[in-house]
Amino acid sequence: MYEKKDLRILKIIQKAREFGDSDLLNENLVEILINSKINSLNQSDKNEFIKILNSIVEIKEKAHLSK
């Protein structure tokens, strides 16, 4: 009957719509990102990964503001 949905995924998609972020509107992509395991990374790699993601977000925001 009804398909169970992960509430976290729905919240992310809702926020993506609010902020006009079309990259995170793909439910399958968001599910893969949430369910992926990055625990095997050491702390240094995790910190580097976080820096990269933050840089991408900053660049996207600057590009969006410059329109």
pTM: 0.53
Q: Do 50 and 22 fall within a single domain?
A: no
Q: Do 26 and 45 fall within a single domain?
A: no
Q: Do 16 and 44 fall within a single domain?
A: no
Please give the pLDDT value at position 40. Answer: 75
* Contact between 13 and 27 (Cβ < 8 Å): yes
Range of the domain at 53: 40-66
Structure tokens at 49: 């990964």
Q: Do 16 and 32 fall within a single domain?
A: yes
pLDDT in tens, the chain (67 residues): 778 888 888 888 888 888 887 878 888 888 888 888 766 778 888 888 888 888 887 887 787 777 6
Please give the pLDDT value at position 67. Answer: 66
Q: Do 27 and 52 fall within a single domain?
A: no
Q: Do 31 and 7 fall within a single domain?
A: yes
DSSP labels, 7-46: HHHHHHHHHHHHHT-GGG--HHHHHHHHH---TTS-HHHH
Phi, psi of 29 (to 5 degrees): -65, -45
Q: Do 31 and 45 fall within a single domain?
A: no
Please give the pLDDT value at position 21. Answer: 79
Please give the pLDDT value at position 64. Answer: 73
What's the structural domain count of the chain?
2
